[in-house]
Amino acid sequence: MNLLQKVSLQIKPDNKVIKEADEFVKKINKEIRLKKIKATAVAGGSIAKGTFLKNDHDVDIFVKFDYSCRNKDISKLLGNILKKLKPELVHGSRDYYQIKNKLTYEIIPVLDIKKPEMAVNVTDMSPLHVSWVRKFPQYLKDIRLAKQFCKSIKVYGAESYIKGFSGHVLDILVINYKGFLNLLKNSQKWKRYTVIDFYNAHKGNALRNLNRSKISPLIVIDPIQPKRNAAAALSEEKINVFKEAAGKFLEKPSETFFIKKEFTIDEIKRKYKNYKIIFLELIPKEEKTDVSGAKLLKAFEHIKKHIKINDFNLVHSDWKWDKEAIFYFVLKKEVLPMYVERVGPPLHEKEYVKNFKKKHKKTFIRKDRVYAKVKRRYRKVEELIKDLIKDGYIKEKVRKIVIA
């Protein structure tokens, strides 16, 4: 058995999960019949496509409302259908519902459309994406491999705090390149603004035809909606992480590329035992996952930026988030000098030199340019971190933050 066959078996979902999801769909359909509403609940997303992963506990269910309901509030109609099941309302481009049992169900109201132009909301397109993927059953194993690979290297998810590869984008890429290994090989050729256009809908002119605000470093044309870049949320950083990991896997294949690795505080301490490590523990605000995640990312980037601005030598940093979040920053053990040099204007710019000298007390000349010695505000990184976590910018992003 080769490596990919072995991994495929390991990540293949248990049939019990699929049966449980089917039973839940039947339960919703029973409620729909009792309410006499023109709608049908169906499994959606990866469970319907056949790309569901083992130990994945999130299941999408679409409730497809008859097109005659297009002018009605179908989110409210769905809320009435689900009332007995005590769902939690989640706000989105169209409100949907979440129910947590053994699995976490996201129940999404959509209009039952046959063609993309009938869509009233972007979510109406989702069942059409499912139908498109099911035309290519030969690539379902490869899509699962691609998803697991991306999850393990932390580039999976189009949420704003991840900016990675969505499941839909991976579906298109795997099908376009005819398999997982071909996707890895072809990723090594990606340049900025590479276009993947499965049906060649744009005849090589995608960059000219697409809305400029939706152009990303990798452009993946949606096969159902050719005017849409399915990879609009994908960042260059995540593309580069993917390409690097793909190159390493092709050079030396290993199961480790499919094992999701979350750091532990003890592991980081061991790995960077000769460095100074700052750990921060955070509790996010009780908001929609995407909103909370985006705020945590902004807080992390804010702290990281100020560490660098204040001349501390940052070696590595990362963060993770479940119910609570942990940030860590690895730095060289150092106390910075009391003074730092600030470069001023050249001497022939007399007015600028005069203003520079007014602003700074300790100035000196070196090679026809004026410089100043400025006393540092922070010589130890701990002092900076203590001030940063009290900062209003951070406080409005999280409920609580402490140095661990």
| Two structure tokens written together for 1 | 């058995």
| Domain 137-258 indexed as CATH 1.10.1410.30 | yes
Would you list the DSSP string of 282-340? EEE-SS-HHHHHHHHHHHHHHHHHHHHHTT--EEEEEEEESSSEEEEEEE------SEE
For residue 280, what is the enclosing H or E element?
strand 276-284
Q: What is the pLDDT along the chain (404 residues), one digit of tens a residue?
A: 599 999 999 999 888 888 999 999 999 999 999 999 999 999 999 999 999 999 887 899 999 999 999 999 999 999 999 999 999 998 888 999 999 887 899 999 999 999 999 999 989 999 999 999 999 999 999 999 999 999 999 999 988 888 999 999 999 999 999 999 999 999 999 999 999 999 999 999 999 999 888 899 999 999 999 999 999 999 999 999 999 999 999 999 999 999 988 888 999 999 999 999 999 999 988 777 778 888 999 999 999 999 999 999 999 999 988 778 999 999 999 999 999 999 999 999 999 999 999 999 899 999 899 999 999 999 999 999 999 999 999 999 999 999 98
Spatial contact of 291 and 266, defined as CB atoms under 8 Å apart:
no
pLDDT of res. 1: 52
- Burial annotation 315-353 (CB, 10 A radius, 16+ → b, else e): eebebebeeebbbbbbbeeeeeeeeeeeebeeeeeeeeb
Closest C-alpha among 177, 201, 199 to residue 188: 177
Domain ranges of the chain: 14-115, 137-258, 265-334+380-403, 339-375
pLDDT of res. 268: 93
CATH superfamily, domain at 265-334+380-403: Poly(A) polymerase predicted RNA binding domain (3.30.70.590)
| Two structure tokens written together for 82 | 């689900």
20: left (phi over 0), alpha (psi -120 to 50) or beta: alpha
State the CATH class of domain 339-375: alpha beta
The radius of gyration computed from the CA coordinates of the chain, to the nearest angstrom, equals: 26
In sequence order, what E strands does 125-250 have? Answer: 194-196, 218-220
299, amino acid identity: A
CB atoms within 10 A of CB 194: 14
Question: Fold match between 14-115 and 137-258?
Answer: no
pLDDT of res. 18: 87
CATH number for the domain running over 14-115:
3.30.460.10
| CA-angle at 101, arms to 98 and 107, nearest 5° | 25
Sign of CA dihedral 244, 248, 249, 250: positive
* Model confidence, pTM: 0.82
